[in-house]
Amino acid sequence: MDGSRGLYRVETEEGSFSCTIRGRLRKELVYAESGAARRSVRHVEVMPHDPVAVGDRVRILPTGGASGVIEQVVARAGGAFSRRDPDPKSGNLRTVAGLDQLVPVFATRDPEPHLGLLDRFLVVAESQRMRPIICITKCDLGLAPELVARLEVYRALGYPVVHTSVSTGEGLDDLRALLAGKVSALVGKSGVGKSSLLNALLPEADLRVGEVSAATGKGRHTTTSTRLLPLGGSDGGYLADTAGIRALGLDRDAERMLDACFPEFRPHLGTCMLADCTHTHEPECAVRAAVAGGQVDAVRYASYCRMRGYDGATPLAEEMWDADDDFAE
């Protein structure tokens, strides 16, 4: 789609529509620069911008003739993720768009790593076409053998896993190399060491959360913009300051595509007996057969079922929202 001054041209199979945008959508979502702007980004403060970006896939409601209203952003070209507005009363969403990479951060301990949360981060990344990079911090404290074994599962799936420590400097060059030239965001529970990593990775010390608060003059919990912090180095790249992120959510489309967000399921999809198989309880399910046969890791499959809302758990979107505690300070 193509937008100018509140009117957007949306190309559909039934032709071109001239669309306005739902007021609600405009209020709820704040996007960073588009993918095109990102490549030549000069100023790193990301301002609230159109909730719809050129190139987005949107859902429209035709209102007669060739006119319509944009109801929902279904997917964007680059990666994006949403965060809950700091104001719990408004319940607004903010979205940082144009992320190339999502970096889930887990500590070896303090806090203990719970990799169910990693599976959710990976689904967010997969559904929004961000490259995930798994970062393990505090490796100077030692890795439990169970953690080492679990990380092998993710490596085998093709996800890069970096072992770091800001205390010893281990892995920081590897991480830098993976971040170079890309726009990435570190995500993870409070206390895993995200700020420490930011400070170790950024060329200028102290470019961190505190400065964002000072810049907006309102304190971090009412920060309304997300900054992209330049990584320096010959290849450039940015780290998004995601201090305000309280929870990650998925839109309904992503929820529907959940099975495809597990790369190890993909060879089996479409071969279940039922066309609309959810791979939780149906007979002759190819995914469940692969779990039974050991081709698909059973713990990852259990994460999938939890996100699906099988097992008496809440459905994915709500569960993701309720992951708030994982981000609480």
Residue numbers at the binding site for Zn ion (CB under 5 A): 272, 277, 279, 285, 287
Does residue 290 contact residue 298 with C-beta atoms inside 8 Å?
no
Of the pair 70, 296, the CB lying nearest Zn ion is at 296
Q: How far is the CB of 243 from ligand GDP (least distance, A)?
A: 8
Q: Rounded distance, CA 108 to CA 153, Å?
A: 16
- φ, ψ for residue 28 (rounded to 5)? -80, -30
- x/- contact string, 107-146, with ligand GDP (CB under 6 A)? ------------------------------xx-xx-----
Q: How many residues bind ligand GDP (CB under 6 A)?
A: 14
β-pairing verdict for 45-46 and 226-230 = antiparallel
Give Cα 159 to chain centroid, integer Å.
Answer: 15
Tell the smallest beta-carbon distance from residue 191 to ligand GDP (Å). Answer: 5
Q: Does 166 bind ligand GDP (CB under 6 A)?
A: yes
State the nearest-atom distance from the C-beta of 250 to Zn ion, in Å.
Answer: 20
Q: How far is the CB of 245 from ligand GDP (least distance, A)?
A: 11
Residue from 3, 104, 193, 244 touching ligand GDP (CB under 6 A): that is 193
Sheet strand arrangement including 2-4:
2-4, 7-12, 15-21, 67-75, 57-64
The entry of Zn ion, ligand GDP, none near residue 108 (CB within 5 to 8 angstroms by kind) is: none
DSSP 3-state of 53: coil
Contacts of 127 (CB under 8 A, 6+ apart): 250, 253, 254, 257, 261
18-47 binders of ligand GDP (CB under 6 A) = none
Residue 78 binding ligand GDP, by CB under 6 A? no
Amino acid at 2: D
List contacts with ligand GDP (CB under 6 A): 137-138, 140-141, 165-167, 190-196
